[in-house]
Amino acid sequence: MSGKLLKIICSPFQIYWQTSKKQNIGAISTSNNSETIQNPTLIFTSTSTVYGEPTKIPTPEDYAPLKPISTYGASKLACEALISAYAYTYDFKAIIIRLANIIGPRSKHGVIHDFIQKLNKNPTQLEILGDGTQSKSYLYVSDCIEAMLLGLEKSTEPVEIYNVGSEDQVDVKTIAQIIIKEMDLKNVKLTFTGGVDGGRGWKGDVKNMLLDIDKIKALGWKPKHNTQQATTETIKELKRQQV
C-alpha cells in the first residue's frame, strides 16, 4: 500500500470545524502533518444522496448535474469539493466513497433499527413512513470496509471517487416483511403514513436509489452479500444484541 492513511472523515461538520479557523485542515494538516507523513491519504465517506434524483439508474460516478434534494446530501457534496481543492492545493491524496445504505451489527439508526424498535414496543402494528415503495440499495458493513481498503490500496489519482453499494434494491415494505418474519411475529398490521411528495418518508428522502459500482468492481471488489442477504443478516445480529 503506497503512502499512509492520514484520516477517515465521515462528518460534514468535522470538515467545517477543521477548515473554519485560519483556512487549514487540522486533521489533514497543511503544515505539521504534511512534514512528518509522506504521501498522506484522506478517505471521505460521502453518500449516494449527492446525486439527488438521477435520471440514470444505476447511477455512475460521472453522472451530472449533481442536484441533492436534502441538506445532508448538499453538505456532503460541498465537503467533496472542499476536499478536492485541498488535495490539489496541498499535495495529498483523497479518496471519496459515495455510499449506499450501510447496515450491519451495532446499527443505531436507519430503517431496520427503527422497525425492530417499533415492533419491540408494539408487536401487533408497524407504522411505515411514506408509501412503502421507496426502493434502495443496502450494503453489509464488512463488504463496505473491504471496498474502502481496496480503494485505498489501488487508487492512483490525486482525487478518486468511487460508488460503493450492492447491485440490487429492496423496498421499505419488503424490509418490514423480512423483519416480521425474522422476529417470528404473526398478524402484524402495516400502516403507511403516505409520506410527502409522492410517497417519500420525509422531505429530502430519495425514493429510488441504486449505484453503478462498475468502477470499484474493476479494481477486484464485489459485494459478498446482496441487499436481502445483508438485510437478513443485520436483523439477526441486532436481535442477538438484544438478548
Q: Answer whether residue 103 shows pLDDT above 50.
A: yes
Given the C-alpha cell 445483508, which residue does it identify?
230
CA–CA distance, 130 with 222 (Å, rounded to integer): 31
CA–CA distance, 231 with 235 (Å, rounded to integer): 6
CA–CA distance, 108 with 141 (Å, rounded to integer): 13
In the beta sheet, which residues pair with residue 140?
A: 103
CA–CA distance, 54 with 63 (Å, rounded to integer): 8
Contact criterion met (CB below 8 Å) for 202 and 168: no
Q: Does domain 4-242 have CATH number 3.30.70.260?
A: no
- What pTM, to 2 d.p., does this model score? 0.84
Which grid cell is 103? 447496515
Report DSSP letters for 126-188, one per residue. EEESS-S--EE-EEEHHHHHHHHHHHHHH--SSEEEEEE--S--EEHHHHHHHHHHHTT--SP
Model confidence pLDDT, tens digit, residues 121-143: 999 999 999 999 999 999 999 99
Model confidence pLDDT, tens digit, residues 28-54: 443 344 444 566 889 999 999 999 999
